[in-house]
Amino acid sequence: MTIICVTSFKGGTAKTSTLLHLGSAFCKFHKKKVLLIDFDAQANLTTGLGFDPDEQDSMAPVLQGEKNISEVILNTCIPNMDIIPADTWLERVEVSGALAADRYSHERLKEILRHLDYDFILIDTPPSLCWLTESALIASNYSLVCATPEFYSVKGLQRLSLFINNISERHGTKVLGVALSFWNQRGKSNDAFLSVIEQTFPGKLLNAKVRRDIAVSEATIYGKPIFDTAPKSRASLDYMDLTQEILKRT
């Protein structure tokens, strides 16, 4: 079983869309069994797959020891792809209940996931360096960093790199790669952005880059991946290439 934490330091990097389409491609084209974990209280992954976060349990009661993980896993519209939804309780879960008194609370997710039977577990984290992100990184074999070719996204990578490296030294998670979204092949500052990424995460920039495509937003409206709603779109092709590259790296 391979656990991948999908991270970014700021919003708007297509982090959730990248995770959703990686998971979908693993199942649809590579016959893998996949669990998605929405570990972001904004619950965009949950709503993006057509679930109401106010009507579902998240990982929060599992972390608190109040429920078994099997009780919060839901089937999605994609065969062999399940999800654990998010809710607003996740945002401050570490300062309440059993977690508040546990000095090793950030290692609890790793223990919970270790006995599950999936080929891949993909964890969607908040766009911040918080307890949830740290817990997800500790639980993961790899981190996939998401970015866009714009100033604030790339600058945030430097702080994210320090955060991941610190956790890696203690828990062994490795950076799988840096995935770029909203890519414009004619962008005037592309070389500068790519240079900063190479300096921050040497050798980790993925060749497959997801081009800007309105079809991704349209797919979200239907609660389905782009492979179902616009299979011939450029973003669909890019996500398939990205999936192939990530499978090779793992």
- pLDDT above 70 covers a percentage of the chain that reads 100
C-alpha span between 149 and 216 (Å, rounded): 18
192-223 pLDDT, tens digit per residue, is 888 888 999 999 999 999 988 888 888 877 77
Contact, 85 vs 38, CB < 8 A?
A: yes
**Model confidence at 37: pLDDT above 90:** yes
E strand or H helix that includes residue 167: helix 151-171
pLDDT confidence of residue 79: 92
Domain 2-249 homologous superfamily, CATH: P-loop containing nucleotide triphosphate hydrolases (3.40.50.300)
Model pTM score:
0.93
109-168 pLDDT, tens digit per residue, is 999 999 899 999 999 999 888 889 999 999 999 999 998 887 776 777 888 899 999 998
C-alpha span between 148 and 119 (Å, rounded): 28
Domain ranges (residues) in the chain: 2-249
pLDDT band at 6 (very low <50, low <70, confident <90, very high): very high
Contact, 210 vs 245, CB < 8 A?
A: no
64-90 pLDDT, tens digit per residue, is 999 999 999 999 989 999 999 999 888
